[in-house]
Structure 1
Amino acid sequence: MIQKYTHLVPLLQLILLMGSLEAGCPVYLTISLTGKTQQDAFLEINWGPNCYGPPQWVGIYSQDPTISNFQPDLRINGIFNTTGKMLTPIKLGKLRFPGGWNKQDSGDQTATQYPTGKCLPHYVASYNGTELLTVDCLKIQPNWMNQIKHVDRMQLKDTFLPGTHASGAVLGSSTKSNSILVRDYLVAQQLDVWSQLVFGIRYLDFSIGYKNMNTEKDADNFWIANENMLITPLLGVLRDVRQFVKRSAEMVVLDFSSFPIGFYKHPEIYSSLFRLLRQELGDEAYRRNVSKDENCANRNFRELLLQKRHLVILFPTQELPYPEKESNMLCPPWQRFSTSFMNISQTLDYMRLLFSRKPDSPVRNVGWIFTAVRSMEQTLNAHQLQTSKERAAVLNPKVNKWLKGPWGNNANVVAMDYFSNTNIVDLAIQVNARKAFIMANNDYINLEIFNLN
């Protein structure tokens, strides 16, 4: 009896964990894709999926409503459908991160560890009358991988990594052009790479362009590109990534996925980019066993930490000349799947094929990347030219909703444009916590425990 009881405890913990991850009517905040600037973006209230016990009212607060009887800045009465979102008139404002997580904060001081994330001054609470049902907030998650017990034992191919597509395609002071074309159609993220990482993104996708800028530094010739146009210099982005992983000790996957400008039939330019990566990221890049043709997706976070490394760099090594193509700091690319030229119904069917892991699915036991985007060309083919924000505003919430079902358990990397209008980071944390718990307690989950008499 004692032995069966000890086996029962982990399973009960699992049941409680899974139950706690699925509140009766989860309500959360995201950043809408409205406003010309990040500060002007409005907050959105989201609820569901499967909200069968909707609250009587929802309030937004600038302070934690659980510590005092604050009046809401905004009150919304009545939620009737099971899944949805609502734009609010409350603006995001200037982002200031607590605990030493601003980019300009001194790296000499240890940044605060936040086991369950850290709320920014934007809270959402749901009520029945005066009874508080749920509370959530817009939060940063700079340490989430380090905080999930046993997740460091999971292979990277089994870990749900929230990601961004065209990660460096952000409007900023260093953007090469501020034209309407760039601002409305080529910029792909509201938040810069530093902020993406602080919010919890752990996969970054980079398309790289090369243009001779006639400077003494070859590094100045490399740019983040999107849709075959140069957007912003690469060097500053690499330094932000390096600074973040040193401050956080988190694992990040960098995917150099395409080279649309200046690289064709120029192996010497690939070599020059490799030297830049080695210079800026070499001390943080995982070193694989080249002699055994090691697949980096089969490694786990713990093995990276044993090397005191935090970056996995995916790169098409075949483009490099020998001996650089044999470098142990570069990992071969993972499988990629994209919805660029699909409509919504086709995307759903494609996700059903990929995430079901059925025999006819092209997803195998390897690292893989699902890029949930719609290209500008796809909207032109549909005779309805949409901005990048308009495309993401339609697609992202649907993909986010579909991943909250069983498909999320099979996700590896999911990358989006404008990820900030979803809660994909929270979703990934929940999925990884559940998977890590099951893996660690696999020996205890035995149906025989139910036969206690």
Structure 2
Amino acid sequence: MNKMKILVVPFLQSILLIGSLEAHCPVYLTVSLTGKTLQDTLLEINWGPYCYGPPQWVGIYAKDPTTSNFQPDFRIDGIANRTGKLITPIKLGKLHFPGGWNRQDASDQPATQYPAGKCLPHFVASYNGTELLTVDCLKIQPNWMAQIKDVNRLPLKDIFLPGTHASGAVFGSSNKSNSILVRDYLVVQQFDVWSQLVFGIRYLDFSIGYKNMNTENEADNFWIANENMLITPLVGILRDVCLFVKRSGEMIVLDFSSFPIGFYKHPEIYSSLYRLLRQELGYEAYRRNVTKDDHCANRNIREILQQDRHILILFPTQELPYPASESTMLCPPWQRFSTSFMNISQTLDYMQLLFSKKPDSPVRDDGWIFTAVRSMEQTLNTQKLETAKKRAAVLNPKVNQWLKGPWGNNANVVAMDYFSNTNIVDLAIQVNAHKAFVMANKDYINLDIFNLC
């Protein structure tokens, strides 16, 4: 009797996943870019992409419709197209995060872990007649990385990290953020940094400006900037990041990507910012091993958490004078690619070049960041000045849809303005679960086949 071993590559799960997506029509909720205030912002129903059988009707509920026979608060009938988005009259309302995930919640009790996320009181369900097809909800996902088996073994360069561009450019209490110019054209996120992290964002992009505020506190001089204007103070955002990682145990990438105001030819200001980062983030910042290599993107989450640290800082160390320029607390920047000055057609072509990872692609075997944005200057060049929300409302659904194809499997960091009108966090979770499964099971199983002849 001969014995033969056959290596089975675990593509079966991928085939089943793709088959299930094609067999029905995914329906989900996002936050539209309407409303002067966050509470007044309207919810959106999304379906697709490429539904093979659109449902007969879809409803929005304030409670889980699987628990009882509720009537929907809003209903749409007659969905015909295979991909779509519809703004509803349902308002987001005042945000209250359950389970100890509000910033102001007491820290003496650990926050609740949510393996599959936690629904806020906004649900969407699709039906054929009275047959329930799908249910989803607007959800927070404060500890999603810890819930994906084996994802902590993947190098950071192989993980899809959902991110925000100009992460701190949020409308707030600062006088600088109260002008119409700032509110309509320079603010590019609906949710503050704390809320972004609770919803599941794991990469934050910071453009930093410096202005001497003539106070005794050095930290007061550093501001979040966007489009070369100061928006909001930096130090409070750094403290929110630290509080979140303590409460969640998750790993966050902070990218100090540009320094448009006050830094040029002033190495002492870079040094002052470095001191602030060391003061506020030092005990949570990953320390790279310079004897191993300088490529922090080759590290995995497990290696970072083994140091009992949760924040990886990207910073152009060449701008710092010695010895700060050799700080192990700072990682060299990753490759950056942006669509700032592209129209939709050019963005599609550019994404195809980047995400295909073909030999002519500029993406290399290192960490890389794709920033899907349209700048204010780009709209001026087309003689049509659009607000930041209008720009994101056009671009984000397209990029989100394209990433749901095979390109998403090659994504590293994807950063957006107004990420909240997409489901990029859910998409990243699905992609990372698949990547981790394939990595952990590449030598998955040996079948013993007996030749009985």
How does the TM-score come out when normalised to structure 1?
0.96
Q: For residue 340 of structure 1, what is the aligned residue in structure 2? A: 340
Unpaired runs of at least 5, structure 1: none
2:220 aligns with 220
Measure how far apart 1:109 and its partner are.
Answer: 1.1
> Aligned pair 1:442/2:436, yes or no?
no
5 Å-filtered alignment, 1:361-400, equals 361-400=361-400
1:286–1:312: 8 Å Cα contact kept in structure 2?
A: yes
Distance verdict in 2 for CA 1:11–1:267, change over 3 Å: same
- 8 A Cα contact 1:155 1:298, kept in partner: yes
Partner residue, 2:131: 131
Structure 2 residue matching 1:429: 3-state secondary structure: helix
Cα distance in structure 2, aligned partners of 1:355 and 1:8: 28
Secondary structure of 1:80's match? Answer: coil
Q: 1:118 to 1:452 in 2, by over 3 A?
A: farther
* 1:371-410 residue CA offsets vs partner (Å, 9 max, x unmatched): 0000000000001100000000000000000000000000
Q: How does 1:274-289 map to 2 (within 5 A)?
A: 274-289=274-289
Specify the code of the residue in structure 1 equivalent to 2:233.
P
- Distance (whole Å) between structure 2 residues aligned to residue 445 and residue 407 of structure 1: 28
TM-fit CA distance, 1:276:
0.5
The separation in 2 between residues aligned to 1:262 and 1:186, in whole angstroms, is: 18
Contact 1:175–1:233 (CA<8 Å) still a contact in 2? no
The alpha-carbon distance between structure 1 residues 330 and 64, as it changes in their structure 2 partners (threshold 3 A), is same
Partner of 1:110: 110
User: TM-score, structure 2 length as denominator?
Assistant: 0.96
Q: How does 1:216-295 map to 2 (within 5 A)?
A: 216-295=216-295
Q: Work out whether residues 224 and 230 of structure 1, in 8 Å CA contact, stay in contact via their aligned partners in 2.
A: yes
Q: Does 1:430 align with 2:426?
A: no
Q: Which residue of 2 aligns with 1:146?
A: 146
Residue 9 of structure 1: how far off its partner (Å): 10
> 1:209 and 2:209 equivalent?
yes
State how many pairs are aligned.
Answer: 451
CA distance in 1, matches of 2:452, 2:218: 71
* Unaligned ranges ≥5, structure 2: none
Aligned-pair distance for 1:78?
A: 1.3
2:22/2:52 contact within 8 Å kept: no
Going from structure 1 to structure 2, the CA distance change for 1:317 and 1:65 (only over 3 Å counts) comes to same
Pair 1:9–1:327, CA change in 2 (3 A): closer
- Structure 1 counterpart of 2:169, one-letter code: A
Percent identity between the two aligned chains: 82
Deviations 1:286-327 (A, max 9, x none): 100124442000000000111011111000000000000000
Structure 2 partner of 1:34:
34
Aligned Cα root-mean-square deviation (Å): 2.2
- Cα pair distance change 1:452/1:408, threshold 3 Å: farther
Is 1:200 aligned with 2:194?
A: no
**Counterpart Cα distance in 1 of 2:402 and 2:15:** 22
Q: 1:100 to 1:125 in 2, by over 3 A?
A: same
The Cα offsets for residues 10-40 of structure 1, whole Å up to 9 and x where unpaired, read as 6544544454566510000000000111111
Letter in 2 for 1:436: A
Following superposition, the deviation at residue 177 of structure 1 comes to 3.4
| Pair 1:350 & 2:319 matched | no
How far apart, in 2, do the equivalents of 1:4 and 1:210 lie?
Answer: 68
Aligned-pair CA distance for 1:108 = 1.6
